[in-house]
Amino acid sequence: MKRPGKNHPDALSYSDMRKTLASGDILLYEGEKLFSRIIKKVTRSRFSHAGIAVWWNERLMVMEAVSRGVVVTPLSASVGHYKGHVHWYTSKRLLSDEERKRMIIFAQEELGKEYALWKAIWVGIQLLFKWKPEVRDELKRERKLFCSAYVAQIYNSIGVDLKPGLSDSSVVPEDIATSPELLSRGVLKSPAPPHPAPAGF
């Protein structure tokens, strides 16, 4: 697969597209650092991390589960400082303002939870050895979260199942990217030089 470079047809300018992003849109991160490459290999995914865009007053933020827990970060910093590419996905179904509000309230209620490191490792082991994943497919709030499980739960909170037949706690970034509920909008770019970003799953 051709990597999205500066002249890739899917490449977008973050500064140009910022106003177009809506609360509830999904960001999938295609990292290039060693830890990201390991995650991509183990999960057989193009992506190593996932987050949810949210407008916070006039600031565009990303809500995400990273190594330090479930946090909110300015999206401009996340895109600009990330060593790799950040892909933008939206819902195929038109989401109402009320649904987007419910998603963000749910996401905010999860802020501060710890990162589910061992769960993320266990999901990776299941994929590596092709063991059957957890198939419980109803919404359940977890005590700890990793990135793609967090995103899947946020959508499940309004009845949108990104990966039918699979528990949210077993969803990996590639499951989100291939969800029939989502549409790829392109690769967000930023003129800022790359810097290390927090590790995520």
- 60-115 residue pLDDT tens: 999 999 999 999 999 999 988 888 889 999 999 999 999 999 999 999 999 999 99
Instruction: Name the pTM for this structure.
Output: 0.83
Domain hosting 100: range is 11-189
Tell me the residue ranges of DSSP E strands in 32-166. 49-56, 59-66, 69-74, 84-91, 114-115, 144-145
Does some domain include residue 198? no
CATH number at residue 134: 3.90.1720.10
Does some domain include residue 6? no
Does some domain include residue 41? yes
Does some domain include residue 195? no
Q: Indicate the number of domains in the chain.
A: 1
Does some domain include residue 40? yes
Of the listed ranges 31-40, 82-91, 96-105, 168-177, the one predicted with least confidence:
31-40
| 3-state SS assignment for residue 181 | coil
Does some domain include residue 194? no
Residue closest to 103 by CA, chosen among 20, 22, 24, 182: 24
Does some domain include residue 201? no
- 124-162 residue pLDDT tens: 777 665 666 665 656 777 889 999 999 999 999 999 999
Does some domain include residue 159? yes
